[in-house]
Amino acid sequence: MKALILSDIHSNIIALEAIWAREHDADAIYCAGDLVDYGTHPREVLDWMRAHRVVCVQGNHDRHVAETFHDTALWHVSERVLQWRHHNARRLAADDVAFLLALPEAVTFELDGIWYGMTHLYRNYELILSRHAYASFCRSRFPDMQIDRLILGHTHRQGIMTLGEREVWLNPGSASYRRLDDPDQEAHYCIIEDGRMLLRSVAYDCRAVYAEVQRQRLAADELQVAQWFFGPRSE
């Protein structure tokens, strides 16, 4: 069985489609949260998730955008201070927001005899670095379940951490963008096939995303960050 593991899509439908073009033979798709915010196509991403029956957990940005949708001041925020969460909330319908709010904090699933637990984040931007921390966290998120492997998102930092024989966690990285200390502009994700975890990335058309970002009317600092994520890199 082949499973596609995603996280931190952030309304980037172009990157998502690039991943799917390469991995369209996946039997199942899982997403560790942050489907929306900091990107230009929130509704298209949610439509894609529903159409492909992706098993998702709720990320902090999913919750923030959904809460912003219900803010009575949403349509009165001036462009001078408009943030991405406002931008995304204005582009969603009530059923989209209901979808985001209904996403669970954590899910478990089995692939090829291995039990996985998936949730968006550990604690802020910290990493799980000990077996004790791993066991404590799994007990709190997945009570009464024996988790063989843990899937996390949030940090946008792709990697697999092996802490012990049964203490392994992975982060597929962000399908959209990196942190400011990492200039890589490919879409990151993970494939799990026959128990093997394969970290992958694929190039996508950042120019198209950048062009769309430039057309948005947002606060200057919000645009500046997104322009760094998707803009041209100097050689």
108's tokens = 């478990």
Residue among 185, 187, 180, 173 at smallest CA distance from 230: 185
What is the domain-level CATH number for residue 78?
A: 3.60.21.10
End-to-end alpha carbon distance in the chain: 41
Structural domain contains residue 148: no
pLDDT in tens, 51-86: 999 999 999 999 999 999 999 999 999 999 999 999
Mean pLDDT for 1-15 is: 98
**Per-residue CA distances from 32 to 46, 85, 104, 113 (Å):** 14, 19, 10, 20
Q: Is the pLDDT of residue 235 over 70?
A: no
**Residue 13 pLDDT:** 98
Residue 133 lies in a domain: no
- Chain segment 86-143, per-residue pLDDT in tens: 999 999 999 999 999 999 999 999 999 999 999 999 999 999 999 999 999 999 999 9
- Asked if residue 142 belongs to a domain, the reply is no
CB-count burial class (<10 Å; 0-12, 13-18, 19+) for 17: middle
Distance CA 90, CA 104 (A): 23
User: How far from chain centre, in Å, is Cα 88?
Assistant: 15
Give percent helix, percent strand, percent coil of the chain, each to the nearest 5.
35, 20, 45
Domain count, the chain: 1
- Predicted pLDDT at 104: 98
Instruction: Indicate the pLDDT class of residue 233, thresholds 50, 70 and 90.
Output: confident
Residue type, 190: C
* pLDDT band for position 163 (cuts 50, 70, 90): very high
- What pLDDT score was predicted for residue 94? 98
> Residues 13-43: pLDDT tens digits?
999 999 999 999 999 999 999 999 999 999 9
pLDDT at 144: 86
Q: Is the residue at 114 inside a domain?
A: no
For residue 153, being part of any structural domain is answered with no
**Is there a domain that residue 141 lies in?**
no
What is the per-residue pLDDT for 143?
Answer: 94
Full domain range(s) for residue 21: 2-106+172-230
Structural domain contains residue 147:
no
Q: Is residue 86 part of a domain?
A: yes
DSSP conformation letters of 29-40? EEE-S--SSSSS
Mean pLDDT score, 140-169: 95
pLDDT at 234 over 80: no
CA distance 197 to 112: 12
Cβ partners under 8 Å of residue 21, min gap 6: 202
For 142, list phi and psi in degrees, rounded to 5: -130, 65
